[in-house]
Structure 1
């Protein structure tokens, strides 16, 4: 380069000329809905949101090099309403994969398994789920366990509640014959609240949990990255470690008991 050309380059830079630089990648934000009411998958510890699903979501977002923002919504039907509106990207709340849901949403790979069971009073005479035929059990509105129980034994009546605490309160005081929920949630709640309940023998069905996404091009692009990150964390054992942390050593990333 001649001295004259060097002078021209310096002049150009002085006048505001720029040298082309590589584009800077900016982290996207993954907005995730959750109830913060399902111990130990999504709950508040003081003011802090925590739980297995929360930890999994954070780990996936980190693997994606994305930020994560949680939006707390009271119940599962409302969460799906937020997903339909596009105000959240997905749901972290042990969402069970169901045929009717698959018609409307795309799901990530299954990342956890939960057996649906029923807890009854400790001094109750019932020995198996079939003994509850004609009786009423409590369950949360929108719970996938309701569909599982209907398919398993339609003769058992179900009383639906908006209040997640009330399903346990009424079972504990005998207002209903039992409470229907995922076994791990039953175990943790009975222990945490020191309830006079025991889990009845027999598995109603299996909840296979995954993250739902809307069926549109924008959501599918984000899900592609999400699924890739989730599979990596499954393969390297991260999800298994998180499960054991939040479920007292139990690995819910695999079916932990036989469905008999």
Structure 2
């Protein structure tokens, strides 16, 4: 990966070892099929045969995966990255919209081929899934009330605060590790979170800095703000695939590298992140 974050990255990776809780027996229903000679075809072979790749995403996470205003069109930074990858691999792409908990399960049991939804690369997830090369780098921030920053200056101040999010995200686990009371939401849009911080149902929403900055900017009528000094958990995001799908990963990685080198990902980043280039690691002071 390019560059270095300021601060201790390894500590935060060890804090999120319980971030992905996949319970029950996950069956591989459709992850492979048998060729005429009785051997199992790889996911990549099946994708090529069908001429289509199926991708899971939420459709509710602005600006990485969302529906354009007054339109059913799915768009966003990662949606367009996936579309371009499929185009360069000469494949059609089909999106399946679902919440993050279902996304992880759908990849694991073969209902979808890949997933992208600002999914953080963590050691725990790398044990269960295959990740592409990263194309986005960021760090954690917090949406809080404007008047008093919800009484939060450092991560230690999360003790007893009500933190909203999906059950199995890295950010929810960070909140829990620092004593926050979790308030679980399903696949809801940003305005729901922000209004609940404003009205006191929540104290804080922990999430990606770039996503939070644009969400607050897009909803100026809601009296919340991105915390001005809280920066933690340097992270990178990538495409998620089923464990050991090395052939599929090789084709996707080669395409991502090409798109990084020719500036396509930078152009898409600047389009969706207000001019920011999220393909480069930000230079910020990280709280330890």
Q: Same fold (TM over 0.5)?
A: yes
Q: What's the CA shift string for 1:65-88, capped at 9, x where partnerless? A: 222111112x11101111122121
The equivalent residue for 2:57 is 34
Query: Residue 139 of structure 1 contacts residue 158 of structure 1 at CA under 8 Å; is this kept in 2?
Result: yes
The equivalent residue for 1:223 is 249
Query: Residue 163 of structure 2 contacts residue 172 of structure 2 at CA under 8 Å; is this kept in 1?
Result: no
Q: What's the CA shift string for 1:200-236, capped at 9, x where partnerless? A: 22112123101111125xx322221111111111111
Match of 1:95 among 119, 125, 133: 119
Q: Does 1:65 align with 2:78?
A: no
Distance 2:223 2:187 in 1: 19
Query: Residue 149 of structure 1 contacts residue 205 of structure 1 at CA under 8 Å; is this kept in 2?
Result: no
Q: Does 1:123 align with 2:151?
A: no
Distance 2:81 2:187 in 1: 26
Higher relative contact order (CA 8 A, sep 6+): 2
SS in 1 for 2:95: strand
Cα deviation for residue 196 of structure 1 reads 0.4
Query: Residue 56 of structure 1 contacts residue 239 of structure 1 at CA under 8 Å; is this kept in 2?
Result: yes
The equivalent residue for 2:215 is 189
Distance 1:64 1:148 in 2: 37
Distance 1:255 1:135 in 2: 30
Between stretches 167-176 and 154-163, larger displacement belongs to 154-163
Question: Which has more helix, going by share of residues?
Answer: 1
Normalised by the size of structure 1, how large is the TM-score?
Answer: 0.82
Aligned-residue RMSD, C-alpha: 2.0
Normalised by the size of structure 2, how large is the TM-score?
Answer: 0.74
Aligned length: 231
Distance 1:51 1:246 in 2: 7
Unaligned regions of 5+ residues in structure 1, if any?
A: 1-24
Between stretches 35-44 and 249-258, larger displacement belongs to 249-258
